[in-house]
A and B are shown apart, each in its own frame.
Chain A
C-alpha cells in the first residue's frame, strides 16, 4: 500500500456527463500528479500540483480541470465526457517539487463512458 488513496474505484457514466475523481496523497507529500492510462496511449501525464499550485501541464484536454485543496487532496474534473475518455486515471504523490522524487501511485479510478 503506497498510502495514496483514490475514490471512486470504478465509475460508469454516459457521454456528455461530468465526473469528479478524488485523490488523497501520502501524508506529508506536497506534490500530486494525475495520469491517464489507456490501452492505445499508454500512461499519459495530465497535470501536476504542488502545495495547492499548478506546476506543470501535460496532455490535458480543456474539458478536464484539476485542483489541489489546502488539505492537499486533489480532484480531477472531467466534463462533456466522450467515449474516448474511458480509461484508468491514476494519481501519484511525492514529497518534492521536482520530478526526481519517487512518485507513489494510487490504485486508480476506472472510468467507463457509455
Chain B
C-alpha cells in the first residue's frame, strides 16, 4: 500500500532561516510528487509538483529516489510561509492521492 510519512507534525523556524519539511514515501518506481499548502482560513491548494520543476514562492522540492524522499525546502523563510503543508506522492497511473499527515510550519519573527 502507498504510504507517505511527514515525520514532523510541527516545525518552527525564525524568519530568514532555512526551512526543510520532510516527506518520505514507501513505494518504488517513479511517482509523481506534489506538495499542497493550506494557509490560515484558506483552502488547500497546490504549492508545487515535482514534474514541473518550478520554484513556487521560493520553495523547491527534490526527489531522492534512493531515499524515497521529496523534501520541501526554502533557503530564507518568510512569515507568510506559516501554514499547513501536505506531501502527496502519487503512483503513476493511480487515481487517488495519498496525503501525508501534514506539517504545521510556523515562522517566528
Contacts and interface: CB of A to CB of B under 8 A. Distances in A.
A99 B43 contact: no
Nearest to B38: A105
A102 B32 CA distance: 11
B44 A48 contact: no
A98 B97 contact: no
A43 interface: yes
Contact of B97 (A2, A99, A107, A108): A99
B44 A105 contact: yes
Contacts of B102: 42-43
B5 to A, nearest CB: 11
A45 to B, nearest CB: 5
A44 B96 CA distance: 11
B99 interface: yes
A48 B43 contact: no
Given A43-B102, A48-B95, A103 B90 contact: no
A104 B45 CA distance: 7
Interface in B70-109: 86, 90, 92-102
Contact of A102 (B46, B92, B101): B46
Nearest to B97: A99
Contact of B32 (A100, A103, A106): A100
B96 A43 contact: no
A92 B99 CA distance: 13
Given A99-B90, A100-B32, A100-B90, A45 B97 contact: yes
A107 B46 contact: no
Greatest chain B CB density within 10 A among A42, A56, A102 is at: A42
A45 B44 CA distance: 14
B19 to A, nearest CB: 20
Given A43-B99, A99-B95, A100-B92, 5 more contacts: A33-B97, A42-B99, A42-B102, A50-B95, A104-B45
Interface of B: 32, 43-46, 49, 51, 86, 90, 92-102
